[in-house]
Amino acid sequence: MFLKVIAAIIIGFFSQSIYALSLSIPKSIVDNAISKKFPKEKLSIALDKPTTKFIKDSQKIELCGIWLSKISQHKGDFCIDTQLNWNKSKGNVEISKVNILKITLGEEKEISNALAATLNSTLLTLFDGTSIYHAPEIIGKNLEGIEITDSSLRLKF
């Protein structure tokens, strides 16, 4: 009788875990993947030195760094927040729905409208679709959801 109860518990556990498999990816792995994508450059604007903050309440990642205009020699800080998207065909977690939070010209100075327009288009196009994690082939590509915690991403298969 005791063995039947233990067997039932084990079978129940494994049957539940088949439908509720999740993979936790530590922030350090995501940070490392993002750092490898930098510096990014487009339209003579370079982006570098990324830092991230995982925001559990809004289920977004905040990404900040520095920008540099190679033509005007201006530089400053930027911050965006982004949601994450699952690219099923590639098995990648990607940046999507980029929202610009802040663009400054060193020491919080205002930037010109022309430079702001260039920076806006550069930030939006450089980040959208950027892969931050590739799921191992053994896990498969059918993801049910992505949860952001303060210290990790949780992929729910």
- For 26, 108, 135, the CA distances from 30, given in Å and listed in that order, are 7, 28, 12
Residue 16: what pLDDT?
Answer: 46
Residue 26: what pLDDT?
Answer: 96
In whole angstroms, give the CA distance from residue 7 to residue 46. 59
Domain boundaries, the chain: 22-156
pTM: 0.78
With 0-12 CB in 10 A as exposed, 13-18 as middle and 19+ as buried, what is 84? Answer: buried
Question: Tokens 């303060």 appear where?
Answer: 150
Count CB neighbours of 64 within 10 A: 16
Residue 17: what pLDDT?
Answer: 45
Chunked mean pLDDT (size 10), the chain, 157 residues: 44 48 92 95 90 97 93 88 93 92 79 77 86 85 90 92
Give domain 22-156's CATH architecture.
Answer: Super Roll (3.15)
Start-to-end Cα distance in the chain: 34
What residues contact residue 150 under an 8 Å CB cut-off, 6+ apart?
A: 54, 56
